[in-house]
Amino acid sequence: MSYPFLKGHGTENDFVVLPDADGALHGDADGEMSADRVRALCDRRAGIGGDGVLRAVRRGDGWFMDYRNADGSVSEMCGNGVRVFARYLHEREGEPFPMRIQTRAGVKVLDRSGDELTADMGSPEVLGETEVSVMGRSRPALHVSMGNPHAVAFVDDLAEAGPLLEAPEHDDGVFPDGVNVEFVVRRGAHHVAMRVHERGSGETRSCGTGACAAAVATALADDAPRGTTYRVDVPGGTLHVEWTEDDRILMTGPAVLVAEGVTDL
- Annotated binding-site members for substrate: 13, 69, 79-80, 148, 180, 198-199, 208-209
For the annotated binding site, the residues are: 13, 69, 79-80, 148, 180, 198-199, 208-209
CA 61 to the chain's CA centroid: 25
CA 140 to CA 1: how far, in whole Å? Answer: 49
Amino acid at 99: M
List 82, 207, 213, 239, catalytic entry: 207
Q: Which helix (H) or strand (E) holds 55?
A: strand 52-59
Q: Is 144 helix (H, G, I), strand (E, B) or coil?
A: strand
Question: For the purposes of burial, counting CB atoms within 10 Å of the CB of 228, is it exposed (0-12), middle (13-18) or buried (19 or more)?
Answer: middle
Instruction: Answer yes or no: 207 catalytic.
Output: yes
Residue 53: closest CA among 81, 30, 77, 76: 81
Rounded to a whole number of angstroms, the CA Rg of the chain reads 18
Instruction: Answer yes or no: 42 catalytic.
Output: no
Catalytic center residues: 78, 207
